Amino acid sequence: MGFNKNNNYKPFTSKVWLSSPTMHNGAEMKYVQEAYDTNWMSTVGDNINEVEKIAAKKAGVKYAVALSCGTAALHLCVKFAGEKLYGKPEIGHGAVEGKKVFCSDMTFAATLNPVVYEGGIPVFIDTERDSWNMDPVALEKAFELYPDVKLVISAELYGFSGDIKRIKEICEEHGALLIEDAAEAMGATWDGKQCGSYGDYAAVSYNGNKIITGSAGGCLLTNDLEVANKARKWSTQARENAAWYQHEEVGYNYRMSNVIAGVIRGQYDYLEEHIAQKKAVFERYKEGLKDLPIQMNPFDEKRCVPNYWLSALIIDKDAMCKQVRSDNEALYISEKGKSCPTEILEAISSINAEGRPIWKPMHMQPMYRMNEFITVNGSARAKTNAYIAGELEDVGEDIFNRGLCLPSDNKMTAEQQDVIIEVIKRCFGK
């Protein structure tokens, strides 16, 4: 089956990426060079200390702990929360072993992998249609069904926050701790407060495709000195204060490298510039695609200031052509005036640009097919027949079926973006 709605555009000679690293004429190299020249090629050094200061200040929290990646930060958050809630586990057991943890459903698996590392059982909370983030109403439903749950992990999708303040309130009403996965949302705000400052513990990421990058890296953010101290200790192999290697608990090699910290230190000066560029990309799509039966990432314009990390769109229900996806393939039937994510992704890829499907919801992943999934109508697993009959709203699945991420690179030119917009229009026969 061929994609044939727009073969008159030549592929870009250099690929337009979804979101790629952007370095700034030596601004980052200066700090890397310093580390090199002074032999601080280690997991100790000025760059690490500076990144921690800058990250905490930017997020408006007291402490940041620089780690090897955002996933490591989330892992230490889960471990700390688990020990605080349930006590220190026996050797060989996880900190949330056998415990249910409420998790965002439409997100990258890294949000909740650490729950599984620590033996926990993710319970997925459906997505809010107006924000694509964890639905506070579904979260309240989840607490009604499982009042003993004491830990929630919520991620901000693509740099557009939902009502994370309400999520935190609900957690407090139920005596639960909140881990905020702000990996995609650095620099975004809700009610004027930075993403990463709402959770009891939070993580940001400097992965290569994030809004700023060190090639890798992450920070744990918190106002709690005890977590910050624990995370520093655990991330450097959990050595006790003794002349020899003395150990009272298990450790990890999770500390950030001072070389990578140099890159991140230099990048922070450009965070606002990157956000402005990403916003311009979003606005251009919004304007260019305004006559199509689609909507861009939804957000509450009064309360959320996004960082616009990834521009995404969702196709109106009645403008969807038929599309079927198996575990690893997708097929669609091309139809005049209609389109689907698979067709648009093919069109984008045919001109050497990179789009991506929306994060496939966790409750649809083979690995989690037995895990509980809570929608605004209650437990989808408990109401299997109604669920299969499509009587339960499954917002995440619907957004996954109709949505896609657009090439959102901050180095894409307006001309390149115009071509991408034209190619998308042609999918709808415009």
Ligand X SMILES: *Cc1c(COP(=O)(O)O)cnc(C)c1O
Using the contact rule CB under 6 A, the part of the chain among 25-33, 179-187, 372-380, 392-400 near ligand X is 179-187
Closest approach, Cβ 343 to ligand X, in A, equals 26
- Give the integer Cα–Cα distance in Å for 136 and 162: 9
By rule CB under 6 A, what string of x and - marks binding of each residue 27-66 to ligand X?
----------------------------------------
401 binds ligand X (CB under 6 A): no
Q: How far apart are CA 102 and CA 170, in angstroms?
A: 12
Q: Which is nearer to ligand X, 82 or 218 (CB)?
A: 218
Query: Which of the stretches 172-180, 181-189, 288-296, 385-393 binds ligand X when contact is defined by CB under 6 A?
Result: 181-189
Q: How far is the CB of 89 from ligand X (least distance, A)?
A: 23
Name the residue nearer to ligand X (CB basis): 51 or 424: 51
Name the residue whose CB lies closest to ligand X. Answer: 70
Helix (H, G, I), strand (E, B) or coil at 143: helix
> How far apart are the C-alpha atoms of 405 and 352, rounded to whole Å?
15
CB burial of residue 16 (10 Å; 0-12, 13-18, 19+): buried
Instruction: Enter the tokens of residue 245.
Output: 């290697």
Place of tokens 């560029």: 277
Nearer to ligand X, 267 or 339 (CB): 267
Which CB sits closer to ligand X, 77 or 347?
Answer: 77
Task: For residue 205, state whether it binds ligand X (rule: CB under 6 A).
Answer: yes
Burial class (CB in 10 A: 0-12, 13-18, 19+), 118: buried
Answer for which of 96, 110, 176, 405 binds ligand X (CB under 6 A) is 110
Tell me how far apart the alpha carbons of residues 224 and 76 are, in angstroms, rounded to a whole number: 13
In order of 64, 326, 334, 343, the CA distances from 322 in angstroms are: 47, 14, 8, 10
Residues in 59-78 that interact with ligand X by CB under 6 A: 69-71
191: left (phi over 0), alpha (psi -120 to 50) or beta: left
Contact call for residue 343 and ligand X (CB under 6 A): no
Binding mask 209-248 for ligand X (x = CB under 6 A): ---------x------------------------------
Contact call for residue 108 and ligand X (CB under 6 A): yes
CA 131 to mean position of chain CA atoms = 14
183 binds ligand X per the rule CB under 6 A: yes
Among 19, 43, 111, 131, indicate the residue that binds ligand X (CB under 6 A): 111
- Shortest CB 69 distance to ligand X, Å: 3
Q: Are 348 and 340 in contact (CB under 8 A)?
A: no
Among the residue ranges 3-11, 23-31, 102-110, 236-244, the one whose residues contact ligand X (CB under 6 A)? 102-110
# binding residues, ligand X (CB under 6 A): 14
Q: How far is the CB of 361 from ligand X (least distance, A)?
A: 13
Contact call for residue 257 and ligand X (CB under 6 A): no
Residue 57: closest CA among 228, 197, 258, 266: 197
Q: Evaluate whether 257 touches 14 at the Cβ level (below 8 Å).
A: no
The nearer residue to ligand X, 55 or 427, going by C-beta atoms, is 55
Alpha helix positions (H), 60-189? 70-86, 113-117, 136-145, 164-173
By the criterion CB under 6 A, which residues form the site for ligand X? 69-71, 107-108, 110-111, 155, 181, 183-184, 205, 207, 218
